[in-house]
Structure 1
Amino acid sequence: MVYARYVAIGDSQTEGIGDPDGNGGWRGFADRLAAHLATVAPDLRYANLAVRGKLTRQVREEQLDAALALRPDLVTVVAGMNDLVRPSFSAETVVSNLDGMFAELTATGARVASLTFPDLARLSPIMRPLRHRVLDLNAGIRTSAARHGVVVVETFGYSVTTDPRLWSPDRIHASPLGHARIAAAFAEVLALPGSDNSWSRPLPGARTATVVRTVTEELRWLTSSAAPWLYRRVRRRSTGDRRTPKRPTLVPVNPPASEPA
């Protein structure tokens, strides 16, 4: 299928945090997927409504209507990580919000794609308590997606998805390589020309995790990423406060030569 209007909604992963664009902004998997789509449909128009720090409820309340108004024929919905790491997490609530978005978007005839979350316990020992949350959330995503005909990128069963090289130092956002793999995974489930399952293959040259290295990396993560996150939570602040989408309207991925790139 050739898509003409692609809209991405979600949180920081969709915004592209962790994947610098070289101009002071962020690229990310959605931008990369749009570029792939544009190789098939050069006139593709693309909007990215995602804002970092948003909970799934906020994505539904703040982005869904805007996405529907753009009348997309393809939508990616990626949200839930910010819910997952909060003490108040409820898989039922997150899935309910995702289900509502899936229902409204697919009712328009749009193709909708989402993903499950990887086994975070394999990424960091500190994240092991989150494993049951990931399992519950993924089960709900699969059930909801099947109900509405949403295609899903499965990340949980692949060891590469928890390779540290696919993640930024904060372990919340994908690295440039990680964003590239996510884009390739979406391309595969959408059966785009030139796509395959190579995104799921392990990276060569995996490091052996020693006790000293593991302890050192965990301490570094606690001070550089976990502590600032906890500080924002105490102050009831979010990285997405007062931020607006980076690409709020549908514009060409490949602008005419007369327009600025």
Structure 2
Amino acid sequence: MRAVRFVALGDSLTEGVGDPVGGRWRGWAALLAGGLADRAGEPVTFTNLAVSGAQTRDVLERQLPSGLALRPDMASVLIGVNDTLRCTFDIHAVAARLDTVYRSFTEQGAVLLTACLPDPGAMLGLPGALARPLARRQRAVNAVVHALSDRYGAVHLHASEGAWLTDRAMWSADRLHPGERGHRQLAVRFHALLAGAGLASGTAPSPEPEFPPPTRSAGLRWLATAGTGWVARRCTDLLPQLLALAADEIRHRARGTSARLDLRAAAAVSAALAALSVVERQPDTARAPASA
């Protein structure tokens, strides 16, 4: 009996940050893996290639080759939030990378799992002028993920919406990563989608946590140690540009032209997706016979 092969790609969300078990991170993908076996007890092999801090470039250049080499039956690709938190953010590049990753797995015959993700500015509770540019970027990434998920027939989870976003019990001390209950919520929702499509017949993960949530003092310790380092790294990279974006936001609001920023972002998404369509048509054009 051949094992079902499940490979997970992405960043700290898929690595399992916020769900510590036995001195390591577990996370939603590991929780989901157990529910992929069929009723006959078909085994599942799970490989987690996700790395904290990864961007779409890292998934394309580092994780994808390893993932393809495993020839998975199922591959999850949840990525993009870290791209929005960098001064190098470029929705055209994000779209091109995701297109290559999604296409590569589906051409191998793997079932593709994707998700749109929450806006980091809202999760952190940033002031409006700082939060809105990040929200605009995350909406752009989610729009690309939606479009490409549809193009490649992915099992797509709308994780950027729902009551779970405002339920503090779902989230860890850093307010960016789910806690155990939140990771279980993702696993349960993915399992339901897969079961509905006839792609998972094993027992669904339990939504109830095994372990008590971290104490308030543990959360404060995290924020004072690892959390401080995370904020420092992001501030060094993103803060100068984010302040410039916030200043632009304030100027547009003062002039009553904020809608232009949204229109500009939507146009960039459309152009990025249109560029992918042109690239995909080029090989067929090259093979077409010349007209008389």
Identity among equivalent positions (%) equals 37
2:185 counterpart letter in structure 1:
R
Q: 1:143 to 1:86 in 2, by over 3 A?
A: same
Partner-residue secondary structure (3-state), 1:87: coil
The residue that corresponds to 2:148 in the other structure is: 144
Give 1:138 deviation, angstroms: 0.8
SS in structure 1 of the partner of residue 54 of structure 2: coil
Distance 1:24 1:221, change over 3 A: closer
Residue 91 of structure 1: how far off its partner (Å): 2.6
* Unmatched segments (≥5 aa) in structure 2: 208-219, 238-292
Aligned partners of 2:36 and 2:44 also within 8 Å = yes
1:175 to 2:179 alignment: yes
How far is the alpha carbon of 1:92 from its aligned partner? 2.7
2:48 aligned with 1:56: no
Q: Relative contact order (C-alpha < 8 Å, sep 6+): which is higher?
A: 1
Q: Classify the secondary structure of the residue corresponding to 2:75.
A: strand
Q: Shift of the alpha carbon at 1:121?
A: 5.1
Greater per-residue helix proportion = 2
Aligned to 2:92: 92
User: Tell me, what secondary structure is at the counterpart of 1:9?
Assistant: strand
How far apart are 1:53 and its partner, in Å? 1.3
State the Cα distance separating 1:172 from its structure 2 match. 2.2
User: Residue 35 of structure 2 corresponds to which residue in structure 1?
Assistant: 36
Larger radius of gyration: 2
State whether structure 2 residue 107 is matched by structure 1 residue 107.
yes
* Cα distance between partner residues in 1 of 2:121 and 2:233: 24
- 1:36 counterpart letter in structure 2: G
Which deviates further from its counterpart, 148-157 or 114-123? 114-123
> Is 2:186 the partner of 1:186?
no
User: 1:87 Cα shift?
Assistant: 2.8
Tell me how many residue pairs correspond in the alignment: 214
Change in 2 beyond 3 A, CA 1:3/1:142: farther
1:128 matched to 2:127 = no
Distance 1:46 1:63 in 2: 15
3-state DSSP class of the match of 2:86? coil
Number of the residue aligned with 1:229:
230
Where 1:190 maps in the other structure, the secondary structure is helix
Greater mean alpha carbon deviation, residues 40-49 or residues 173-182: 40-49
Q: Give me the CA root mean square deviation.
A: 2.9
* TM-score, reference length from structure 1: 0.72
Rounded to whole Å, the distance in 2 between the matches of 1:226 and 1:5 is 34
Task: Establish whether residue 74 from structure 1 lines up as the match of residue 78 from structure 2.
Answer: no
Separation (CA, whole Å) in 1 of partners of 2:119 and 2:49:
27
1:3·1:37 contact (CA, 8 Å) conserved in 2? no
Name the CA shift for 1:183/1:65 in 2 (closer, same or farther; >3 Å).
same
Contact 1:118 1:162 in 2 (8 A): no
User: Structure 2-normalised TM-score?
Assistant: 0.65
How far the C-alpha of 1:48 sits from its partner, in A, is 1.1
2:186 is equivalent to residue 166 of structure 1 = no
Distance 1:83 1:182 in 2: 21
Aligned to 1:204: none
Q: SS in structure 2 opposite 1:113? A: strand
Q: Which amino acid aligns with 1:32?
A: L
Label 1:124 to 1:49 Cα distance change in 2 as closer, same or farther (>3 A): closer
Amino acid at match of 1:29: W
**2:25 alignment partner, SS class:** coil
Distance in 2, matches of 1:145 and 1:3, equals 26
Could you tell me which residue of structure 1 aligns to residue 242 of structure 2? none
Partner of 1:11: 11
SS state of the match for residue 123, structure 1?
helix
- Report deviation, 1:90: 2.3
The 10-residue stretch of structure 1 (90-99 or 77-86) with the greater mean CA deviation from structure 2: 90-99
Against the structure 1 CA distance between its residues 24 and 157, is the aligned structure 2 distance closer, same or farther, given a 3 Å change threshold?
closer
Q: State the AA in 1 paired with 2:57.
A: R
Amino acid at match of 2:4: A
Q: Partner of 2:83 in structure 1? A: 83
Q: Which runs of 5+ in 1 are unaligned?
A: 200-218, 237-261
Query: 2:71, 2:125 → 1: CA distance?
Result: 43
